[in-house]
Chains A and B, each alone.
Chain A
Amino acid sequence: MADGIPGLTLVHPLEGRRDALAAASVGTLLSLDLEAPVAAVDLRVDPDGSGPAAVGAAVGAALPARPDTWTALPSGLALRLGPDEWLLTSTTADPQDWEFHVDETASAHGGMAVDVSAQRTSVRVRGTAARDLLAFGCSLDLRPAAFPRGRCAQTLLGQAAVVLVAYDVDDLALIVRSSFAGYVADWLVDAAAEFQP
């Protein structure tokens, strides 16, 4: 998706801060990188009904069974944001196709999927200091045992709502509404000063 559709240029919401984030990275301690835009739908469906299993079959992997966890899809992620809400991403599908594909199954089970590909953007936070950095603005218990790979959470970083995703001990991502992305990037760059030699 990163290349967009020929003719119209896809502009990353944090394009103007790409360099600042890179400059704030500190060796193996910390790296801050923009993630490429992906197709995404917000899925709302009754968790106790047949919907989640059906959607899982349609997207190629079971949806996460517990809120605040994620599972991998063949080319994307399924993040369970709440009891009846999931965010399903695809790195290969076109946003309209992705919405149509998921919605086709969800609506048959009383649910719905809405295209939110451009609603949010994502910053990857990696390095041995990644969790320390986030501890300056996120009140969740981010110790690896409490927030291991497979966890995600809707929380606050500074004063912005984010979805925090744990890929590994030193590999996390922040998914943030694009209007708040500049604030979050500025916050990260400012916080990263702590780790500058």
Chain B
Amino acid sequence: MSRIAGYGRVDRSRTITVTVDGTAYTGHPGDTVASVLLAHDARPQTTSVKYGRPRGITSSWTEDPTGLVQVEEPFPEPMLLAATVEASDGLVVRGVNGQGRLAEVPDTARYDRRHHHCDVLVVGAGPAGLIAARTAARRGESVVLVDDRPTAGGTLTGTETIDARPALDVVADTVAELAALGVTHLQRTTAFGHYDDGFVLALERRGETARTRQRVHRIRAGRVVVAAGAIERPIVFEDNDRPGVMLASAARDLLHRHGVLAGREVVVFTSDDAAYAAAADLADAGAAVRVLDARERAPQSWRQRCEERGVAVETGTLVHGTRGEEHLTAAVVGTVTDSGRREVPCDLLLVSGGWNPTAHLVSHVGGTLAYDAALGAFRPAAPLPAGVEAVGAANGTFALADILREAGGTDAPVAPAEEWPEPTLVLWHTPGEATRQFVDVARDATVADVARAVGAGMTHPEHVKRYTTIGTAHDQGKTSGILALGILAELTGRPIQEVGTTTFRPPYTPVAFAALAGRERGDLFDPVRTTPLHAWHVAAGAEFEDVGQWKRARHYPQAGEDMTAAVLRECAAVRTSVGIMDASTLGKIDVRGPDAPVLLDRLYTNMMSSLKVGRVRYGVMCGNDGMVFDDGTVLRLAEDRYLVTTTTGNAAHVLDWMEEWVQTEWTDLRVRLTSVTEQWSIAAVAGPRSRDVIGAVFGDVDVSNEALGFMCWADTTLDGVPVRLARISFSGELAYEVTVSSWYAPAVWARLLEAGQEFGITPYGTETMHVLRAEKGYPIIGQDTDGTVSPHDLGMSWAVSKKKDDFVGKRSHARAENRNPLRKQLVSLLPTDAATKLPEGSQIVRFCDDGALPPAPVPMLGHVTSSYHSAELARPFALALVKGGRERLGEVVHVPVGDELVAARIGETVLVDPEGARRDG
């Protein structure tokens, strides 16, 4: 046991059990998996990803390049750090070798996101961030303060004093004051991405017992104060990846935060003053400590404090390597020129090469980092992006007294001034065998790998990063990045400031996709749009299909029916009696103004200005490329008013398209557009008995063909509610579209059903609608077309005006290619066996006399776009796009279906009632 009495902020009154690699370990609330393991002199069973070398715990927080674990209980989560996973009772983890395992069961935990707006966001609740937040809040600014650790205070250990009081008491008071001032203060919250205009994403880990497991905070701040601290920099030497090698700051953190002494025989290898504090603290806690300082001179007061504790200090001494099998047993030590190598027994080797400001959030928004030779590190450089500030260690300010002053100005509390420090010696690596000097311990990338990259001609850090993979592991190179730059500078003989840095990109630490998805899963994954009749469809047992975001009733199976049977029954009902369908999802646009006819003439291929009030016309819209992109009916409501319908999935796109022309190209047109898709609900009543049904419900309307002819509309009322009846048919049968305010759609639907009862009125869905329209050769835009099909290809030259001067797509129609007789054209396909339903998407090839496909490549004639069983034809049929199809009418082609070649005859698209006799009933 290495738990030291009197140290740490864990709750020793309570004991919890954590299982790691099958062994149960006891710990306390406030522990991490790493501190629990180190308290038991254990480590996770992990090996490195490439060489399979043993890996231990290298640090005590997110910068740890090793110590990877897989959480198994309470819920599987891969690739977390033992150093950052909070210990909780019943937690089960195991070490992983660089690759984790995703859960195979659904995650039942809740994740969400919340938006915030504030004057100031402070990132980091160490002394710098706390005082910066306090200063802003005292000024009356609204403040959000986030910090990734469980508690505020940053790296304060409890040994410091602020305002002549214990520093942690000042922290507690400050936290209380922030709460009283209304600051939104979030611990366990990592600001992982910083974007333009003060936008920061932060992940809050709320814990397993919280209602929401993790929350992404989307924070928009007037100012962003980066007070994220600094990360200690290692020094590279041979076998520096051996378990037992650790950052000096981590050992100190483990002692003061968790009461854990990470080793008994400790060597501290440093080129900086800060590691002396770790040496002294570990010695006080009972460890035998020896300091090896790479510098020629040790800081005088620290040397003295060490001597008081029996800590030997050797200067001008380097660690060249390590010894041990699974764990460190000795450091290999020598002079700066690598002479006189000797072994110093130890079980913990602490390393400190100085500090790197954690300036990722400055870099995310384009802030430049400049090399500071005194620090041996890159730090934020003026001018910072507008609205961004860096304070404290994140800004390269390391002395507590200076940090407080920088964060709070005259409002700041004071800490004792520190002795003028001995300058940091910038030391990237010690002399030795480059193939065993690990730059990125997580990636098994060595000094030799950097040298190989340089040898291959790479000099830019972005190239070297990709060649060596340094900095691409879970830790994103928090400790290795700067080392790689320093070594690259050294190898290429350039100053490091010329080498520059790689770009820091979000996320700062890994973020689970579940957290990013938030509540947008299950029913809330994507909005489900429904019509006013949805509840009726559900009650009627409809199967639904997704059309865009809409749920549309696809068919209404009765007991024992599959889709094929239900659709055949529904089709037969429409062809022989009467059916009713909810067509409310059709896009509807009210087009008004004196220039409405001009606008529609320009947007549709056919003429709309000549349409008479009271009449309906089918229209086709093309893009600039002359290809069909939408179709629908147009009702002329008045001289200056039309109601345009669009396909269900394209409604918003068509409105945007129309608005774009009106707002940007034809601004002189006096016309305005209003979406009325949900305003009006439509019941399509189709079949030979539809006139009886409509006549029964709307008794005051003359529904005769003479009074209300095909493609005509008439307004009426039903119990005072306005209703529009239109003779529009998408089945070829006598049919009416009944349009009513969506408020009354369920009531009108019920009336129609009631009136249709005696004729066996049959609700039908979109699948039936598709079959009925296909039997008539009516294309579905987006199913029978794919953006490369012109109206002429669809056999709709009749819908393309030759009289109009211009319309969108007209010039493209004049292209020679558009007249190419070998263009794919819409035709019908009848399988000659009258039995096989061709799969949609099937390829069509020339008829093969021997019944076998010729050797590949087989020239393709086209493909099947729609294919159904027809009740009316008592056989399957299909629509297809076929090269030169109109010239091939009557020709038999082959369609490979699985291993079979199915023969099918090309024909006219209209297969049912080609003379149109049923249209008027």
Chain A contact residues, CB within 8 Å of chain B: 4-11, 13, 16, 37, 42, 44, 95-96, 110-112, 114-120, 135-143, 146, 158-160, 177-180, 182-183, 186-187, 190-191, 193-194
Contact across chains for A110 and B117 when beta carbons are under 8 A apart: no
Q: Find out whether the CB atom of B721 lies under 8 angstroms from the CB atom of A119.
A: no
Is the contact region of chain B dominated by helix, strand, or loop, or is it mixed?
mixed
Q: Are B672 and A119 touching (Cβ within 8 A)? A: no
How does the 8 Å CB contact mask read for B718-751 relative to A, with 1 for contact and 0 for none?
1111100000000000000000011111111000
Residues of B with C-beta under 8 A to A186: 523-524
Neighbour of B678 across the interface among A8, A42, A120, CB < 8 A? A120
**How distant is A109 from chain B, measured CB to nearest CB, in Å?**
12
Measured in the bound complex, the distance between the Cα atoms of B520 and A136 in whole Å is: 12
B116, B218, B721 — most chain A CB neighbours (10 Å): B721
Which chain B residue has the least Cβ–Cβ distance from A13?
B532
How far apart are B914's CB and chain A's nearest CB, in angstroms? Answer: 37
| 13 contacting pairs across A/B (C-beta < 8 A) | A7-B718, A8-B718, A8-B719, A9-B746, A95-B741, A110-B670, A111-B672, A112-B672, A114-B676, A118-B681, A141-B117, A158-B519, A179-B531
B113 touches A183 (CB 8 A): no
The answer to whether B520 touches A159 (Cβ under 8 A) is yes
Pair B592/A117 contact, Cβ less than 8 Å? no
Within the complex, the shortest CB–CB distance from A143 to chain B, in Å, comes to 6
Instruction: List chain B positions with a Cβ less than 8 A from chain A.
Output: 110, 112-117, 142, 211-212, 218, 220, 519-520, 523-524, 526-532, 534-535, 550, 585, 590, 592-593, 670, 672, 674-681, 718-722, 741-748
In the complex, the answer to whether B674 meets A44 with C-beta atoms within 8 Å is yes
Let me know if A190 and B721 touch, CB within 8 A. Answer: no
The answer for the CA separation of A120 and B677 in the assembled complex, in Å, is 10
Please, how many angstroms separate the alpha-carbon atoms of A111 and B670 in the complex? 9
With the chains together, A11 CA to B681 CA distance in Å?
13
Q: Does the CB pair A112–B592 fall under 8 Å?
A: yes
Inside 8 A of A158's CB, which chain B residues have their CB? Answer: 519-520, 524, 527
From known contacts A135-B116, A143-B142, A159-B526, infer whether A96 and B676 are also in contact, taking CB-CB under 8 Å: no
Contacts of A42 in B (CB 8 A): 674
Q: Are B114 and A183 in contact (CB under 8 A)?
A: no
Question: Which residue from chain B places its CB closest to the CB of A115 in the assembled complex?
Answer: B679
When chains A and B are docked, how far (Å) is the Cα of A143 from the Cα of B527? Answer: 27
Contact between chains at A183 and B115 (CB < 8 Å): no
Cβ B520 vs Cβ A11 within 8 A: no
Q: Are B676 and A119 in contact (CB under 8 A)?
A: yes
Chain A contacts of B211 at CB under 8 A?
A: 193-194
Distance between A102 CB and nearest chain B CB, rounded to angstroms: 13
Q: Quick check: B113 and A136 within 8 Å, CB to CB?
A: yes
Q: A156 → chain B, closest Cβ, in Å? A: 10
Are the CB atoms of A7 and B530 closer together than 8 Å? Answer: no
Instruction: Find chain B residues with CB under 8 A from A112 CB.
Output: 592-593, 672, 674
Q: How far is the CB of B42 from chain A (nearest CB, A)?
A: 40
Given A114-B674, A118-B678, also A16-B524 (CB < 8 A): no
Q: How far is the CA of A95 from the CA of B681 in the complex (A)?
A: 15
Which residues on B sit within 8 Å (CB–CB) of A120? 678
User: Of A8, A13, A114, which one neighbours B592 at CB under 8 angstroms?
Assistant: A114
B residues in contact with A178, CB < 8 Å: 532, 678, 742
B200 to chain A minimum Cβ distance, whole angstroms, is 13
Identify which of B114, B674, B744 gathers the most chain A CB atoms within 10 Å of its CB. Answer: B674
Other A-B contacts than A7-B718, A115-B676, 10 sampled, CB-CB below 8 A, are: A112-B592, A114-B592, A114-B674, A115-B679, A116-B674, A117-B743, A118-B678, A135-B116, A142-B117, A158-B519
Residues on B with C-beta less than 8 A from A140 are 115
A143→B144 CA distance, assembly (Å):
14
Whether A11 and B678, one on each chain, are in contact in the complex, defined by CB atoms closer than 8 angstroms, is no
Residue among A8, A95, A159, A183 with most chain B CB within 10 A = A8
In the complex, chain B residues whose CB is within 8 Å of the CB of A114: 590, 592, 674, 676
Nearest CB of chain A from residue B340's CB, rounded to whole Å: 64
Question: Within 8 Å CB of A194, what residues of B?
Answer: 112, 211-212
Residues in B whose Cβ lies below 8 Å from that of A10? 743-744, 747
Q: A7 to chain B: which residues have CB within 8 Å?
A: 718-721
- Which of B529, B675, B743 meets A180, CB within 8 Å? B529
* Set of chain A residues within 8 Å of B678, measured between Cβ atoms: 118-120, 177-179
Given contacts A5-B719, A112-B593, A143-B142, contact A119 B679 (CB under 8 A): yes
Contact A183 B520 (CB under 8 A): no
Using A5-B721, A135-B115, A190-B524 as known contacts, say yes or no to A11 and B746 having CB atoms under 8 A apart. Answer: yes
The residue of chain A having its C-beta at the shortest distance from the C-beta of B525 within the complex is: A159
Contact status of A8 and B524, CB under 8 A, knowing A116-B676, A191-B519:
no
Q: Closest B-chain residue to A103, C-beta based?
A: B592
Q: Is the CB of B524 within 8 A of A11?
A: no
Name A196's closest neighbour in chain B (CB-CB).
B211
- Please, which residues of chain B bring their CB within 8 A of the CB of A135? 114-116
Which A residues are CB-close (under 8 A) to B746?
9, 11
Task: Report the Cα distance A120→B675, complex, angstroms.
Answer: 11
- Give the distance in Å from the alpha carbon of A95 to the alpha carbon of B741 in the complex: 10
**Closest residue on chain B to residue A132 by CB atoms:** B114
Given A116-B674, A178-B678, A191-B519, check contact A138 B528 (CB 8 Å): no
A160–B117 Cα distance when bound, in Å, is: 21
Which B-chain residue is minimally distant from A158 (CB atoms)?
Answer: B524
B115, A8: Cβ atoms closer than 8 Å:
no
Q: Which residues of B contact A44 (CB under 8 A)?
A: 672, 674
A137 to chain B, nearest CB (A): 8
A139 touches which one: B212, B218, B527, B550 (CB < 8 A)?
B218
Question: Which residues of A have CB within 8 Å of B534?
Answer: 182
> What B residues does A187 contact at CB under 8 A?
519, 524
